[in-house]
Amino acid sequence: MNRKRPARDGHPAFAALDRASPIPLYLQVRNRLLAMLGDWRDPEKRFYSDDELTAMFAVSRATVREALSELVEAGVLRRRRGQGTAVSLRKVDEKLGVGSHIGGQWDSGDMPVETALLTYARVAAPAEAARALGVPAETEVLFFKRLRTTPIAPVSIDWRYLPLWAAEGIGREQATQSLINLIWRRIDLAHSDLTIEAALSGPEEMELLHLPAKSPILIRHLVYYDRQGRAAMAGKSIHRADLMRYTVRVDQSRDGIGAAHGRATYRSR
């Protein structure tokens, strides 16, 4: 018996494929499947069959099989003869909290994360970065833009702005390493302020993170401060919500009261 086809309304994975796009159809299907897998809550439940996916996306079986083969090779799906397709998606886990190990916050498990440098340059700080760093607008800073990628798909775009005093010794050859780890080795850091909000993908996320339009994303704004109260680094990261998870440890002991502060705010976008 064929399973009921999922409703297409309200989920970006079911939007029509762009047949005029230079992106091959199999790759578009692959990316839509990733978006679907991000919402897959029951790993014991059989995934959609080739025939169901062929009807769902109005493409050939060959296109569906090519898309599925990449996900199987990456370990996201498992296919067994006579048993159908099962889901084995694991998210990238970023650990946040008091005492988090600098440089070891990304725990990707079976999905190693690689970092590619997109931009490394001295620039005039844009208004938002200048405010976060507490410097006058147009102050010269060192700017990094990076893309983090797993074998499955890109998972994060990073923007980082460093005042020149904090960027000393960080050259292009170090730019794909953990920037906060490099800073921490030289500067006596005191604390960081992190804000996480949900949003929907726009053109840049669609291009770099391979997302359908209006897919859920997570935006993490950050500022790191030294013991003198100076901002040593500011920026943001945009993550695919379907492949990213945050783990937060909060100290609830009496001795730890006051060690961590946080609040939830809500706003319309």
β partners of residue 78:
86
Dihedral of alpha carbons 56, 57, 60, 64, sign:
negative
Mean pLDDT, the chain, whole residue set = 80
Tally of residues, the chain: 269
pLDDT at 8 over 80: no
Quote the CA–CA distance of 92 and 90 in Å, as a whole number: 7
Q: Which residues of 53-82 are buried (b: 16+ CB within 10 A; e: fewer)?
A: bbebbebeeebbebbbebbeebebbeeeee
Give the pair of three-digit tokens for residue 144.
């990094």
Output 210 or 245, whichever has higher pLDDT. 210
Output 164 or 105, whichever has higher pLDDT. 164
* pTM of structure: 0.70
Tell me if 13 sits within 8 A of 67, measured CB to CB. no
- Kindly write down the DSSP assignment for every residue of 57-126, as one continuous string: HT--HHHHHHHHHHHHHTTSEEEETTTEEEE----EEEEEETT--TT--EE-TTS--EEEEEEEEEEEPP
The residue written with tokens 């760093």 in the block is: 133
Residue 4 banded pLDDT, cuts 50, 70, 90? very low
Give the pair of three-digit tokens for residue 127.
């208004």
Model pLDDT, residue 157: 96
Give the pair of three-digit tokens for residue 207.
């291009």
Pick from 80-94, 129-143, 181-195, 200-214 the range whose average pLDDT is largest.
129-143
Output 39 or 146, whichever has higher pLDDT. 146
* Side-by-side strand order, sheet with 231-240: 114-124, 140-149, 154-163, 231-240, 216-226, 189-200
Give the pair of three-digit tokens for residue 54.
């062929």
Quote the CA–CA distance of 135 and 129 in Å, as a whole number: 9
Residue 90 banded pLDDT, cuts 50, 70, 90? low
Q: What is the pLDDT of residues 200-240, one digit of tens each?
A: 999 999 889 888 788 889 999 999 999 999 999 999 999 98
Class of domain 12-87: mainly alpha
CA–chain centroid gap for 247, Å, is: 14
**Which amino acid is residue 141, in one-letter code?**
V
Q: Does domain 92-249 have CATH number 3.40.50.720?
A: no
Domain ranges of the chain: 12-87, 92-249
Give the pair of three-digit tokens for residue 173.
């050859």
